[in-house]
Homo-oligomer: A and B are copies of this chain.
Amino acid sequence: MTARRIGILTGGGDVPGLNSVIKSVVYNATEIGCEVIGVRRGWEGLTHMKRADLLSAGGRYDSDYIRPLDRVKTRTIDRTGGTMLHTSRTNPSKMSANRLPSHVPADQLAGYEKADGIYDLTPLVLNNIEYLGLDYLVTIGGDDTLSYSAVLDQSGVPVIAIPKTMDNDVQGTEYCIGFSTAITRAKEAINRQRTTLGSHERIGVFRIFGRDAGFSALYTAYVTSARCVIPEAPFDLDRLLSVLVEDKLANPSRYSFVIASEGAMWEGGTLGEFGEADAYGHRRKVDVGFALVEQIKQRAGEDAVNSELTYDLRAGEPDSLDQMVAITFANIAVDLIREGGIHGRMMAIVDGKYAHVPIPEPGNPRKVDVDTMYDLNRFRPQYHNRLGRPLLLGASLGSGEAALGQPVEALA
């Protein structure tokens, strides 16, 4: 059977490059005679959309959730970040009661309850996909989005998934959309902020996302020739403080800094260590940036500041590399759809090359391979022994690599 109609959705946190994927899927799909249906707000579009008989406005589609896409509507979107389809963190197989679609009859919803207060709306999603007439679904997202993509594919809806996350920690691929732009923005911000560190002769901590994996910190450090600490490698706090003080003294501009993944922590360090623990409560977890600044001030006696690299890293247009990967992932996805037969796969970079792999299991983020990628002694990326490695250095596909079970498909 040839696909006639492709659905597309984006889930999880937005990153630059999502719109490039959407545009490229639309342009390429229309070339091969396929329609593309945009599903809005991630999986919520497929749980909450109303059918024609419930729409006061008439029409076949619930425009709150469903938007047919064409070239005109997507022509310029690749020049902006974010996702024109909006996004959400909905997981249809684990919906809480307060998130259920209100237009669905209570008794029908009751049938979806799996545990107390947890509903699995997969039957509803499948019905809606059938209603929309989708032959294929292209999903773009991180861990959560990917995991439900696998569920759906196993339920009989052919899915091609495209990984995105600034953390770059999706298993099975060396690259996720949004990662390069995040590094580009972080590099620019850090290099700009050197002058304010130097003017005040401070030690800086640049906190960057990455609760489980340190790729963002590590690669930003690589391209700025900086120190970094990452979640995968608890560090010696005394040594770090002493290195930062030495760096500052050796620097004619009298500053130094370290890039810290939000999940990094020193050896033996716990949140409770630095008093007034309940002050931080459940609302705001103490962050390593704040904690490190306290340590630098108290134990090293140096002025220090915590600069958080947050929303700006996921804002704005994608950089060239993200644009290239986003476009290419999209085109390979449509190539696969056109050729038919292949589904339940995730676009990936494997060993430096475009590939597709099984959609990874959730809850097991890819980690930095500390032995080959990080120099714990110097708080730096590993610069030696790069020969034979892929352009972006990351040969490791994470702990799940061996367990992928199926061979990587990478046709020449």
Contacts and interface: CB of A to CB of B under 8 A. Distances in A.
Given A192-B315, A199-B86, A305-B311, A410 B387 contact: yes
B312 A83 contact: no
B28 A335 contact: no
**Chain A interface, >50% SS class:** mixed
A295 interface: no
Interface string A158-193: 000000000000000001000010011001010111
A327 B388 contact: no
Interface residues of A, number: 93
A371 interface: no
Contacts of A86: 198-201, 254
A180 B28 contact: no
A375 to B, nearest CB: 11
Given A225-B327, A278-B279, A383-B327, A199 B390 contact: no
Interface stretch (A108-116, A123-131, A229-237, A348-356): A348-356
A391 B311 contact: no
Contacts of A389: 353-354
B331 A384 contact: yes
Interface stretch (A72-80, A238-246, A259-267): A72-80
Interface string A210-243: 0000000001001101000000000000000000
Nearest to A77: B195
A131 to B, nearest CB: 24
12 contacts: A13-B200, A75-B251, A86-B199, A194-B315, A279-B279, A328-B383, A332-B387, A352-B353, A355-B388, A356-B387, A390-B391, A391-B392
